[in-house]
């Protein structure tokens, strides 16, 4: 029986293969789901048709799904993210940073008093190229798998250095077809029976409330009017979550009349564009491929609780290798976790030991850390 690693090594050696990822998903609670809501309100969907429905709706974007893969990898294999930053009592790794080793969290950190950009780690990552990517393998293999863009440099630092961009080798997205927007009811029933719609309270900047008295407080601005960022200000009970709120309908969620699917690709050809000397190229690429497959498998099996009212279950899940002019070759991911652990052990000398930097004063001040 051909093992997963044997099949992947063969595909990586040939250099002409991609891995197709497909899954059919179903809502755990029925046909209605809550897609992500973006700034300004609304979901990401195609223009409404005559009946108000849309042909397509995004349920989980490629960037969001990549974060789920990172979470799965960070939980099971934290050694794959040796660069970490301690911010107050919390320590986060590159598998938790939006821009991975190019993240501003690292930029605003120090190692034994040395600024990040002056460390040997930062210099090695900054000097990396696809044909000389050993530093990425050693310090942040997730960068090669999920992509990276050095967009956080500021001022002269940005002008003096190359802006590195690494396209993701793994990209997955969850979408729904033939969806009809629906509304959600919202209300609040006050157990104390508080009533009234007048601005009868005074709100202070620290959140303290007191009854409004014109003789004492004078003419205060009312919340909801212009320039109401000034404190103290008059507020209605409902504006500070007191009293009843009449039931109302808010457009939120969609009824799925078509299908919910996960579609993705792990491009082994893109991985083959990187060279990792002194590590063996094929073995390093195999590590990255297994990272991607493990992350996707973990998300599909255990991580499809995307958000409230969007808990999904996979009814079908298929992963296969596609090669030029050849039939798809199914991949069995049953032992992908064991295969990844074995590959990490085989390349342990090429993955750095954990390095923990410390957030600088600017970063600590932003999160209220000492």
pLDDT above 70 for 245 = no
Domain count, the chain: 2
Asked if residue 253 belongs to a domain, the reply is no
User: What distance lies between CA 20 and its chain's CA centroid?
Assistant: 21
| Band (197; pLDDT cuts 50, 70, 90) | confident
- Residue range 210-222: average pLDDT? 88
Within-domain flag for 251: no
Name the band, by pLDDT with cuts 50, 70 and 90, for residue 241: confident
59 and 196 part of one domain: no
Average pLDDT taken over every residue of the chain: 90
pLDDT at 1: 46
pLDDT at 285: 98
Look at residue 160 in the predicted model and tell me its pLDDT.
45
Q: What is the mean pLDDT of residues 68-97?
A: 96
Check whether residue 16 and residue 113 sit in a common domain: yes
314 and 270 fall within a common domain? yes
Residues 97 and 146 in one domain: yes
Q: Is residue 103 part of a domain?
A: yes
Evaluate if residue 229 carries a pLDDT over 80. Answer: no
- Whether 287 is in a domain gets the answer yes
What is the structure's pLDDT at 246? 62
Residue 70 lies in a domain: yes
Same domain, 133 and 232: no
pLDDT score at 97: 94
pLDDT value of position 158: 46
* pLDDT at 193 (0 to 100): 64
pLDDT tens track for 145-188: 999 988 765 444 444 455 788 999 999 999 999 999 997 756 66
**172 and 208 inside one domain:** no
**Which residue in 41, 42, 39, 40 sits closest to 57, CA to CA?**
42
211 plus 124 within the same structural domain? no
- Alpha-carbon span 160 to 82, nearest angstrom: 27
Segment 307-316 shows an average pLDDT of 94
The reply to whether 339 falls in a domain is yes
**Per-residue model confidence (pLDDT) at position 192:** 67
Tell me: do 52 and 120 sit in the same domain.
yes
What is the Cα 318 distance to its own chain's centre?
23
Return the H-helix or E-strand segment holding 300.
helix 281-302
pLDDT above 70 for 286: yes
Do residues 206 and 92 share a domain? no
At 342-366, the pLDDT tens digits run: 999 999 999 999 999 999 999 988 8
**pTM for this entry:** 0.84
pLDDT at residue 161, rounded to an integer: 52
Name 313's bridge partners.
26
CA distance from start to end of the chain = 57
Check residues 211 and 197 and name the one with the higher pLDDT: 211
* Same domain for 145 and 50: yes
Q: Which residues contact 286 (CB under 8 A, 6 or more apart)?
A: 5, 8, 9, 12, 343
Strands (E), the chain: 18-27, 32-33, 54-60, 83-87, 90-93, 109-111, 114-115, 148-149, 165-166, 170-188, 201-203, 209-211, 233-235, 245-256, 260-267, 305-307, 310-322, 329-330, 355-359
pLDDT value at residue 155: 41
- Percent of the chain whose pLDDT exceeds 90: 71
221: helix, strand or coil:
coil
Within 169-275, where are the H helices? 214-217, 268-271
pLDDT band at 331 (very low <50, low <70, confident <90, very high): very high
Boundaries of domain holding 171: 4-179+259-367
Residue 184 in any domain: the answer is no
239 and 195 inside one domain = yes
Q: What is the pLDDT of residues 256-268, one digit of tens each?
A: 999 999 999 999 9
Do 54 and 134 reside in the same domain of the chain? Answer: yes
Q: Tell me whether residue 249 is in a domain.
A: no
Q: 232, 157 in Cβ contact below 8 A? A: no
Among residues 23, 65, 22, which one has the least CA distance to residue 313? 23
């Amino acid at each position: 029986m051909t093992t997963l690693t044997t099949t992947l090594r063969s595909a990586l050696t040939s250099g002409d293969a991609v891995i197709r990822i497909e899954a059919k998903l179903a809502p755990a609670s029925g046909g209605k789901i809550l897609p992500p809501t973006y700034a300004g309100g609304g979901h990401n969907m195609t223009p409404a048709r005559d009946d108000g429905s849309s042909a397509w709706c995004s349920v989980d974007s490629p960037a969001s799904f990549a974060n789920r893969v990172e979470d799965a990898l960070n939980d099971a294999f934290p050694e794959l993210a040796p660069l970490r930053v301690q911010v107050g009592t919390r320590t986060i790794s590159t598998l938790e940073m939006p821009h991975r080793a190019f993240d501003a969290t690292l930029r605003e950190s120090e190692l034994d008093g040395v600024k990040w950009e002056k460390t040997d780690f930062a210099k090695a990552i900054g000097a990396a190229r696809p044909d000389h990517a050993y530093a990425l393998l050693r310090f942040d293999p997730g960068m090669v798998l999920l992509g990276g863009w050095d967009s956080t440099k500021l001022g002269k630092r940005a002008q003096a250095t190359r802006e590195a961009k690494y396209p993701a080798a793994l990209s997955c997205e969850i979408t729904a077809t033939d969806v009809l927007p629906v509304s959600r009811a919202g209300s609040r029933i006050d157990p104390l029976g508080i009533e009234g719609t007048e601005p009868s309270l005074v709100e202070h900047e620290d959140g303290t409330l007191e009854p409004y008295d014109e003789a004492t407080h004078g003419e205060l601005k009312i919340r909801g009017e212009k320039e109401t960022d000034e404190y103290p200000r008059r507020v209605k009970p409902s504006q500070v979550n007191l009293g009843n709120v009449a039931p109302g309908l808010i457009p939120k969620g969609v009824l799925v009349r078509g299908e919910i699917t996960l579609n993705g690709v792990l491009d082994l050809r893109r991985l083959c564009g990187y060279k990792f000397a002194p590590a063996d190229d094929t073995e390093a690429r195999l590590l990255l491929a297994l990272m991607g497959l493990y992350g996707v498998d973990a998300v599909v099996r255990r991580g499809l609780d995307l958000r409230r009212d969007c808990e999904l279950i996979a009814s079908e899940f298929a992963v296969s290798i596609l090669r030029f002019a050849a039939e798809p070759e199914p991949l069995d991911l049953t032992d992908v976790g064991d295969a990844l652990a074995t590959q990490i052990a085989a390349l342990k000398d090429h993955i750095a030991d954990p390095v923990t930097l410390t957030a600088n004063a600017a970063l600590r001040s932003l999160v209220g850390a000492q």
